[in-house]
Amino acid sequence: MLKDNPVVKKLVETGEERVGKLAQQLMSNEKFVATVQTLVARSLAAKGTLDGALRSALSAMNLPSSADVEQLRNKVDDLERLLSSVESKLDTLVSARKK
C-alpha cells in the first residue's frame, strides 16, 4: 500500500540519496576510515583475548572448547569414512565368495 504512494517513494529516494552521500563523505574522510580500522583491530584483539580466556576457563573446568569438539567431529568423520571403506571391501569379498 505505502509502496505505491508517490510521496513515500519520493521520501525513500531522497533518504537513500542522502545516506549514499553521507556514506561517500565518511569513506573519503581519512580520519573516519582510520578510526573504523582501529575499532575493528581492537575488536578482533578483544575477541582473541576473550576466546583465549574462555578456552582457559573451559579447560580449568575440564570441559571441551568448540575447537576440541570440532577436532573430535573431524576424527569421527574420518572413522566413518574408514568404516565405510572397510564395509564396502567386506561386501565385495562376501559377494565374490558367493559366486
pLDDT, averaged per 10 consecutive residues of the chain (99 residues), comes to: 80 92 94 96 97 91 91 97 96 87
CA 14 to chain centre: 35
- Report yes or no: 64 and 75 within 8 Å, Cβ to Cβ: no
pLDDT at 9: 87
pLDDT at 23: 94
pLDDT at 8: 85
pLDDT at 84: 96
pLDDT at 1: 62
Nearest-angstrom CA–CA distance, 66 and 52: 12
